[in-house]
Structure 1
Amino acid sequence: LLQGMVLCGYTPTPPHRDIHKTALGATETVDWQYLPTTLDAVQQLQAAGYAVMAVEQAAQSIMLDAFTPPANQPLALVFGNEVSGVDAAVMQLVNGCIEIPQSGMKHSLNISVSAGIVVWDIFAKLKK
């Protein structure tokens, strides 16, 4: 189901020692490409027919547990910077926004944790 990744901005790209250390060979089996900006990536994905959803805390977001992946359209997810989130210009371009429901005092998750939660949830919904 997962077709690949688009890496943007100052995100390191393979081969990179930090990626090699944590990816454990995934760079050899997961397709990836690099684009200079997230805006470029969103525009390219939308032109290719993808619904593009940001994963961010925003006023118009859909809670992940209420989100239904599109049945007849490929889906792309945009995960933002761990400190500043998804850029405002990107938020204006995406087709919508998904938010991970959280409670308590701290409303922030590490990007790898967020990606794991969202991808697993969507995968589980698509398997049904």
Structure 2
Amino acid sequence: MVKKLIVVLDNIRSHHNVGSVFRSADAFGIEELILGGISPRPPHRDIHKTALGATESVKWSYSEDSRARILALKEEGFKIIAIEQTEQSIPMPRSIGQSDEKLLIILGNEVNGIGPTLIDLSDEVWEIPQFGIKRSLNVSVCAGICMHNILAS
């Protein structure tokens, strides 16, 4: 069972997406939300509009250099999972093993995804199985699916 889940939003463009992830992070009780790179951060009215107060209830931090922060958490025993569609990605597991008590998931830019340096730093790359033509989910929707799947298993 996952005891700690940290979510990293790296280079997210949209204030609304960040706010929506805050709201889901509160709903699922994650350990921390890390905003990295160009990701907007509170206080901002567009974040507050979709977060509905979750910026006050979710522990969060900002790191200009997501890689350094993720590396430090990896040294603390967090398993690093990139959520991305790559040639190496595997379908997100339906249940998470007991050895994965401390997980960190990385979600990337809405257009360009997660950069190669963070992909290379990851222990695994997961993608959410999709069956439509576009094979594309909004980053905040993806975050909610991941948080639920990880913490409900």
Separation of aligned partners in 1, 2:58 and 2:132: 35
**Are the equivalent residues in 1 in contact too, given 2:79–2:100 (CA < 8 A)?**
no
* Partner of residue 87 from structure 2, selected from 51, 59, 65: 59
Residue identity in the other structure for 1:64: M
**Equivalent pair of 1:8/1:34 in contact (CA under 8 Å):** yes
Question: Residue by residue, what CA displacement relative to the aligned partner does 1:28-54 show, whole Å, maximum 9, x if unpaired?
Answer: 110001000221232122122211100
Please point out which of 29, 32, 41 is paired with 1:13.
Answer: 41
Gaps of 5+ in 1: none
Q: Equivalent residue for 1:103? A: 131
TM-score normalized by the length of structure 2: 0.75
**Runs (5+) with no aligned partner, structure 2:** 1-28
CA distance in 1, matches of 2:139, 2:110: 6
Assess if the C-alpha contact under 8 Å between 1:54 and 1:77 holds in 2: yes
Alignment partner for residue 88 of structure 1, among 116, 124, 138? Answer: 116
How far apart, in 2, do the equivalents of 1:73 and 1:36 lie? 27
Root mean square deviation, CA, Å: 1.6
Greater relative contact order (CA < 8 Å, ≥ 6 in sequence): 2
Q: Does 1:74 align with 2:102?
A: yes
Letter in 2 for 1:25: G
CA distance in 1, matches of 2:98, 2:49: 35
- C-alpha deviation, 1:113, in angstroms: 0.5
| Matches of 1:29 and 1:112, distance apart in 2 | 18
The whole-number CA distance in structure 2 between the counterparts of 1:44 and 1:70 is: 22
1:44 aligns with 2:72: yes
Given candidates 13, 18, 28, the residue that maps to 2:56 is 28
Paired with 1:82 and 1:69, the residues of 2 have a C-alpha distance of 29
Distance 1:59 1:14 in 2: 35
- Overall identity of the aligned pairs, in %: 42
Normalised TM-score (structure 1): 0.89
